[in-house]
Chains A and B, each alone.
Chain A
Amino acid sequence: GAVVSQHPSRVICKSGTSVKIECRSLDFQATTMFWYRQFPKQSLMLMATSNEGSKATYEQGVEKDKFLINHASLTLSTLTVTSAHPEDSSFYICSATRPGQGTYNEQFFGPGTRLTVL
């Protein structure tokens, strides 16, 4: 089956530093990847849609200058949390869509990255 990886799985950083999270589709090419954020005991909230070779589309309320997304290849998207603050501490999950039959593109999820900002 399709596999999506994320690196790192867990990161702890000081306030004011930047953190980069990678999302890779290991055995398929993903033209579109999505970044979600999940707070404890809450649902996944879409942050942005990342399309290979173009600028990401951010959801309302998500600061594009704070959450930089780069989708440089068909198998890699990165999310950089710039000047991180404690309120950015969260679980970040990416998903990648694998082209399927007809109009259905199944989404496969990464294992998530736990970010803790001290």
Chain B
Amino acid sequence: AQRVTQPEKLLSVFKGAPVELKCNYSYSGSPELFWYVQYSRQRLQLLLRHISRESIKGFTADLNKGETSFHLKKPFAQEEDSAMYYCALKRSGNTPLVFGKGTRLSVIA
């Protein structure tokens, strides 16, 4: 079975401080990992996926298969980063996403 764990419900950091949102997964095959973000009163949108290995809005995430983790990081948090962040996993192909419970990031000025 596929499972995604986000241990923190809420993470508060000061503006300019580093941010790390934790995500661990369990899946016996080769998963595709994603981070989705939901800003206040907006729909869920893709932030980044592990395959592309890109940095979006200063965020990066590295897939660590040994630790089965896909933590989201940003060196300097901005107020506009305040949002709900969901880590998600899917099998290859046209398959649904399995979401973690989400972490609310609050960046304090």
Contact = CB atoms under 8 A, between A and B. Distances in A.
Interface stretch (A40-48, A65-73, A76-84): A40-48
A114 B12 CA distance: 28
Given A44-B86, A103-B92, A104-B51, A109 B45 contact: yes
Contact of B46 (A31, A106, A111): A106
Query: Of residues B32, B46, B86, B96, which shows the largest number of chain A Cβ atoms within 10 Å of its Cβ?
Result: B96
Interface residues of B, number: 18
Interface in B46-101: 46, 51, 86, 92-94, 96-101
Residue of B44, B45, B51, B97 contacting most chain A CB atoms (<10 Å): B44
A107 B101 contact: no
A18 to B, nearest CB: 25
A43 B93 contact: no
Given A43-B86, A112-B43, A107 B97 contact: yes
Interface residues of A, number: 21
A114 B95 CA distance: 25
B101 A42 contact: yes
A43 B43 contact: no
Nearest to A107: B97
Among B46, B86, B93, B94: residue with most chain A CB under 10 A: B94
Given A43-B101, A46-B98, A112-B43, 15 more contacts: A32-B94, A34-B97, A43-B100, A43-B102, A44-B44, A93-B43, A93-B44, A95-B97, A97-B94, A104-B32, A105-B93, A106-B46, A107-B46, A107-B97, A109-B43
